[in-house]
A = this chain, B = another copy of it.
Amino acid sequence: MSGQQAVEAAIATRRGEINDALDEGLPLQEPEELYEASRYLLEAGGKRLRPTILLLVAESLADIEPEDADYSSFPTADDDPIDVMEAATSVEIIQSFTLIHDDIMDDDDVRRGVPAVHREYGLSTAILAGDTLYSKAFEKMLETGARSERSVQALSELATTCTRICEGQSLDISFERRGAVTPDEYLEMVELKTAVLYAASAAIPAMLLGYEEAVDPLYGYGLDIGRAFQIQDDLLDLTTPTEKLGKQRGSDLVENKQTLITVHARRSGVDVDNLVAADSVEDVTEAEIDEAVERLEEAGSIQFAREQAEDLVQSGKDNLQTLPDNDARDLLEGIADFLIERTY
């Protein structure tokens, strides 16, 4: 197996276990419509990258052979076992809550190939489904059986993370109304909106398992690769064919969304607002997008974003040196690479 194949296999294996835990941990109880709506997006799919990172960090810290891990009874630094899968489902549930509310705010119709929750169930139920997942995530994080002081630390991290995600989403919305945004402002927004949940996913297992000294470097790993992930998302919007992307290529340009690429281009003198004449993704042509991408390449903006993402991945991998040298750490390095090598 190549490194990339090993990483994809590791993600797939854990995804299966995470999906089972989500299915069991969020039963279809009364009121049924509320729980159906809360489960809907989770059932529609997703790579489960954040909980997978959480599990792999736990495996590496405990120096367990990846195939031997029993997540529901997982050894801590002082042996007293905990249910680390509860923490993994918690971060995925937070991710799902933010997607449901974001889709309302961005008025997006489709997510993971299915109608967005507010399209399927209406605005009220979608807001409530997000709110329900929010508190469920806190409930799950409290159900690991970890020592109280460690649970408090993890809970505190989770709460701060949620506040920051809201701040990041607020900045993202405000950027749409603004012209010039600096690369630093853009990266701060990405840090808040996207990267802190990766950071929490990597740091929380160290908190719960009692590896205090690893918390900061692992947080750094998550922050780095989370930012790289978002930059890669921005690149994919321009470079991946529409049919593979699952949405119109170049839609960020059509919708005048700020990305690291357009932020760089604007500062290099490119008239970003008029790169694409079409006002809607329905009207834009592939030729128009090709031409826009060419101009962004000439301005060095695509190269700039690629380099930023690569630097972040390297920095993230450096942070992993806090972990013991084992298969799980190799897989976490591989996930960092995967995030910027992926084409979907």
A residues adjacent to B (C-beta < 8 A): 30-31, 33-34, 101, 104-105, 123-125, 127-128, 130-132, 134-136, 138-139, 142, 147-149, 151-152, 155-156, 158-163, 166-167, 169-171, 173-174
Contact = CB atoms under 8 A, between A and B. Distances in A.
Contacts of A130: 131
B105 A123 contact: yes
Nearest to A151: B152
Which of A101, A130, A135, A169: most chain B Cβ within 10 A? A135
Contacts of A30: 167
A139 B151 contact: no
A212 to B, nearest CB: 15
A258 to B, nearest CB: 15
Contacts of A125: 170, 173
B134 A162 contact: yes
Contacts of A128: 101, 105, 166, 169-170, 173
Contact of A163 (B139, B155, B156, B161): B139
A159 B138 contact: yes
A166 B135 contact: yes
A170 B138 CA distance: 20
A31 B104 contact: no
Nearest to A131: B166
Nearest to A189: B31
Nearest to A140: B159
For the complex of A and B, 10 pairs with smallest distance between CB atoms: A148-B148, A135-B162, A105-B124, A138-B159, A34-B170, A148-B149, A132-B166, A31-B170, A135-B163, A139-B159
A167 B34 contact: yes
Contact of A148 (B124, B152, B162): B152
A155 B31 CA distance: 23
A134 B135 CA distance: 9
B135 A167 contact: no
Contacts of A138: 138, 155, 158-159, 162
